[in-house]
Amino acid sequence: MSSVSEQRRARLLERLNGIEQRIVQACKNASRQRDEVTLIAVSKTHDVASISAFYEAGVRDFGESYVQEWQEKCAQLPDDIRWHFIGHLQSRKSKYLTEQIHLVHSLDRSSLFKALNKHITHQLDVLIQVNVADESTKSGTSVDELKALVDKVNQSEHLRLRGLMALPPFVSDPEVNRPHFEMMASLMQSLPAWVNRPEDISILSMGMSADFELAIAHGATHIRVGTALFGARDYGA
């Protein structure tokens, strides 16, 4: 397997340590334990060698957004990686979410629920993605429609609802998103009462490179950090 240069490895580990320290501090400020927060390294567009460098440093949770890209990487990397599917999923691709997917963060609409419910025959853990700022350009169920989608997943034989995911607007000052994080925290409190197995509800996925500290302050259990770990993404050829 190809590996990164020593220089790149040192840079990646330096970033990982920096993020780790910030998570520790954010947990402390929120009177939470460090082990209440899982760092997901969002590896979309980044190469297998960089993922391996983080893997060797102990990271086991990685996030991918595109089915084919994930499949290619998954085939080349160790089996004990917990793969998080965080991207927009086309219904016709739902059958590709095999047992190797640890958690789907992006169940965002009832048509995708129908497709997953039809094609998935193993137990698949899912989060419902909430369009918390009601942005027309973003995926996610609206806050108003959330309960209806929860009811559906609640009836499913194979999909197991574990919590909620949010992708708030991109803003330069994360403070602007504070009301959205508050809204997610409050929805998360309501959720257990809406399902048959309230004990399954334990995951709140929110917070990215720019705002994970604020997310931790509002109860995030899973933060999804890409750029601050891997560096900028290159979507070019």
Ligand X SMILES: *Cc1c(COP(=O)(O)O)cnc(C)c1O
Residue 128 beta carbon to ligand X: minimum distance, rounded to whole angstroms: 13
Closest residue to bound ligand X by CB: 226
Instruction: Answer yes or no: are the C-beta atoms of 66 and 84 closer than 8 Å.
Output: no
5 vs 96: CA distance, rounded Å: 33
Q: Which letter does DSSP use for residue 232 in this model?
A: -
CA distances (Å), 144 to each of 59, 131, 155, 178, in order? 36, 10, 19, 20
- Nearer of residues 143 and 210 to ligand X, judged by Cβ: 210
Residue 230 beta carbon to ligand X: minimum distance, rounded to whole angstroms: 8
Residues that bind ligand X (CB under 6 A): 42, 44, 65, 86-87, 167, 208-210, 224-228
Residue 103 beta carbon to ligand X: minimum distance, rounded to whole angstroms: 12
Residue 215 beta carbon to ligand X: minimum distance, rounded to whole angstroms: 11
Residue 131 beta carbon to ligand X: minimum distance, rounded to whole angstroms: 12
Instruction: Answer yes or no: are the C-beta atoms of 225 and 40 closer than 8 Å.
Output: yes
Residue 53 beta carbon to ligand X: minimum distance, rounded to whole angstroms: 17
Number of H helices, E strands in the chain: 8, 8
Instruction: Answer yes or no: are the C-beta atoms of 59 and 78 closer than 8 Å.
Output: no
The residue ranges of DSSP E strands in the chain, in sequence order, are 38-42, 61-64, 82-85, 101-107, 124-130, 159-166, 203-205, 222-225
Instruction: Answer yes or no: are the C-beta atoms of 73 and 64 closer than 8 Å.
Output: yes
CA distance from start to end of the chain? 22
- Nearer of residues 86 and 132 to ligand X, judged by Cβ: 86
Residue 107 beta carbon to ligand X: minimum distance, rounded to whole angstroms: 13
Instruction: Answer yes or no: are the C-beta atoms of 226 and 12 closer than 8 Å.
Output: no
- Nearer of residues 65 and 117 to ligand X, judged by Cβ: 65
